[in-house]
Amino acid sequence: MRKTVLFTLVVAVSAFGLSAPSAAQSATRSNDRHVDYYYPEPASREVYEARVPTLHDSDRLRRIGFVTVLTAQMLKNPYPPQFAIFAKGAESEKLIVAGLNDSGYNTLFRARALFAMLTAMARSTQFFKEQPAADRYTFFDLAKLLGFVQITFTDGDQFAHQIILE
């Protein structure tokens, strides 16, 4: 089922076709207008140096398509989604992942576990299988391919962690 979800995402994403924003456009601590609206001030931040470049035709529409397809797939499951995923920013270049349950993804370790699961899903897709050294790519690399410059994870309550993709 998860293979199908991510494969569907990659296919849907590749069907969309402008240029990706630079990392300099990503929000910083002082000007992140999404703080206190979608998530609390991130308690921690990190920079991830992606192993792949942004696809030349990744644009706002592709990123919106990615989150739309992923969300639609999660809503088809016979159980409620455990997290929401959506894109924000002028070019939808900021990916936000929010836990939807109390005491769910409420630590950095649980957030990393979720990203590890999403990485496994990404690696199982035909798209990633066809890439050289695909076993080294992560969900963060997939996000970079699509032109995301930032990922913010929140438990939807008090915890947030931010990853800048370079």
pTM of the model: 0.81
Nearest Cα to Cα of residue 5 among 77, 93, 87, 62: 77
- What is the average per-residue pLDDT within 135-141? 93
Query: Partners of 83 in the beta sheet?
Result: 99
Say which residues have a Cβ less than 8 Å from residue 133's Cβ, sequence separation at least 6: 51
Residue 30 banded pLDDT, cuts 50, 70, 90 = low
Say how many C-beta atoms besides its own lie within 10 A of residue 16's C-beta.
16
Q: pLDDT value at position 8?
A: 42
Distance CA 74, CA 80 (A): 8
Most confident among 17-26, 76-85, 102-111 (mean pLDDT): 76-85
Distance CA 139, CA 118 (A): 6
CB distance 142 to 50 below 8 Å: no
47 alpha-carbon distance from chain centroid: 14
Distance CA 77, CA 164 (A): 30
Dig out the tokens for 57 from the structure. Answer: 């035709």
- What is the average per-residue pLDDT within 93-100? 98
Nearest Cα to Cα of residue 19 among 145, 132, 147: 147
Nearest Cα to Cα of residue 77 among 4, 128, 155: 4
Residue 103 DSSP symbol = T
- Percent of the chain residues past pLDDT 90, beyond the cut: 68
